[in-house]
Structure 1
């Protein structure tokens, strides 16, 4: 699931655990690609029909379109971007066999996320999957699943820490309990969250018509797609400070940014009536909302932008 993984067990005994843990990242699928062959006329049985190279049958066998209607799941962890929601499924599996003299019960899963600004970890809320077996009676070959969703707000290294606790019971020849112990283990998964949309802003004070007229500023921002895939900017808007009014210049909706593309947006911020503050002024926060090629939502809010004086 992640780039690095480490297991920490609190049991001093080195006997194998009866429960294993699998962590699967939940990601949107992608459209399968294909590389159609060109039509040839070599003869003597050397020609390969272009339809043989298609991943999906096409009404036009001579089409060179690289995308197909087939969906593929990601084969690797992929990139984690700031502003998007990180989601994964945690699976605790009963690895005992049907002839085992042990039984597993009381399985519990907990999760924490260590972020660059919080190394102690944030406790994550886990949601139950539908039609899940009871944790008190995890049968042989059974799986207990929990799902976690967490918005990524910081750039840098994150560590997902999963702790599994369960009771391992020893059975006698009649199937009754002859002993038992509580067991626990912990796994760490490390991944890096990186920026998808980089924002560079500039605030400029506009000339006043008169000494008593309200102050006005222009707020310019450059939005750059620093990720690997294209994004669709749905909306760019301002959250103005109290006593200020903002207005867009042009359209800040429906922008498609390919990788490394840059788009510039602009707003005019004006003091409302009665504004008599002088000097440096807190103006607004810039909010960007986007979708990935397969519809996954993301959003980013900058810090408060201020005038120079």
Structure 2
């Protein structure tokens, strides 16, 4: 598979009812399966090369055998199935006059994400999770949260161009568990919070997943 950023050799997988060999009789067919996770947008080319040997009808005269090879290319464009827009808001730090100024106070953030179905058909969101850096912990406030005395909320079902919102509460771990010096930052001084991972299925049950880059926010004053 030739993707926009890399070329990957693919392993051929046999079907459940097929034997793992390459010989088959006249009139029979042979099926193999390739699996490849689409991780980048743009043009993809699947190159398939087949080499086989022709023999006589009895298969006894090896001198009459001929080896043949042909190659086919299958080109397709991978388009994004889900659009993700994120926003991070910081909560102001409540100062306590009785506390020492040198003491580090935990900082909290609200991560909001807008998810839009960009596919041609409907999808069902199965999981939206936030993986924070070691300096933080996160709490989901989405449909997967179980509330007492309430029925479980079904997973969001999005028709093409439908939009849904998800949110997470991110809090810096208190001093003693994670020191402020261990908070990771970018070169321009922005705080690295973590990554958002989204999993979904199409109407036919095909799985899809997406992981964002590192989500950041500016330092709190």
Matched, 1:125 2:21: no
> Equivalent residue for 2:54?
168
After superposition, the Cα gap between the structure-2 partners of 1:147 and 1:223, relative to the gap in structure 1 and judged at 3 Å, is same
Residue of structure 1 aligned with 2:200, choices 271, 290, 309: 290
> Equivalent residue for 2:216?
306
CA contact (8 A) 1:230 1:259 kept: yes
Q: What is the deviation of 1:241?
A: 0.8
> Equivalent residue for 1:233?
125
Matched, 1:245 2:137: yes
Q: What is the deviation of 1:176?
A: 2.5
Matched, 1:273 2:174: yes
CA deviation digits over 1:214-255, x for unaligned, max 9? 111111110001112111112211111112111123435611
> Equivalent residue for 1:254?
155
**How far apart in 2 are the matches of 1:177 and 1:276?**
75
**How far apart in 2 are the matches of 1:196 and 1:134?**
37
**Number of equivalent positions:** 193
CA deviation digits over 1:162-190, x for unaligned, max 9? 00011223579x96333333221110000
After superposition, the Cα gap between the structure-2 partners of 1:139 and 1:250, relative to the gap in structure 1 and judged at 3 Å, is closer
CA contact (8 A) 1:171 1:177 kept: no
After superposition, the Cα gap between the structure-2 partners of 1:133 and 1:224, relative to the gap in structure 1 and judged at 3 Å, is closer
**How far apart in 1 are the matches of 2:78 and 2:198?**
18
Question: What TM-score do the two structures reach when normalised by structure 1?
Answer: 0.57
Question: What TM-score do the two structures reach when normalised by structure 2?
Answer: 0.79
**How far apart in 2 are the matches of 1:134 and 1:221?**
49
Structure 1, unaligned runs of 5 or more: 1-112
> Equivalent residue for 1:18?
none
CA contact (8 A) 1:171 1:179 kept: no
Q: What SS does the aligned partner of 1:224 have?
A: strand
* Higher alpha-carbon Rg: 1
> Equivalent residue for 1:142?
28
**How far apart in 2 are the matches of 1:175 and 1:295?**
48
CA contact (8 A) 1:160 1:189 kept: yes
**How far apart in 2 are the matches of 1:287 and 1:133?**
37
Q: What SS does the aligned partner of 1:123 have?
A: coil
Write out aligned runs for 1:1-309 (5 A): 113-118=1-6, 121-129=7-15, 130-132=17-19, 134-135=21-22, 137-169=23-55, 176-210=61-95, 212-251=104-143, 254-274=155-175, 275-277=179-181, 279-309=189-219
**How far apart in 1 are the matches of 2:204 and 2:73?**
29
Greater fraction of residues in strand: 1
Q: What is the deviation of 1:133?
A: 7.8
**How far apart in 1 are the matches of 2:9 and 2:20?**
24
CA contact (8 A) 1:170 1:179 kept: yes
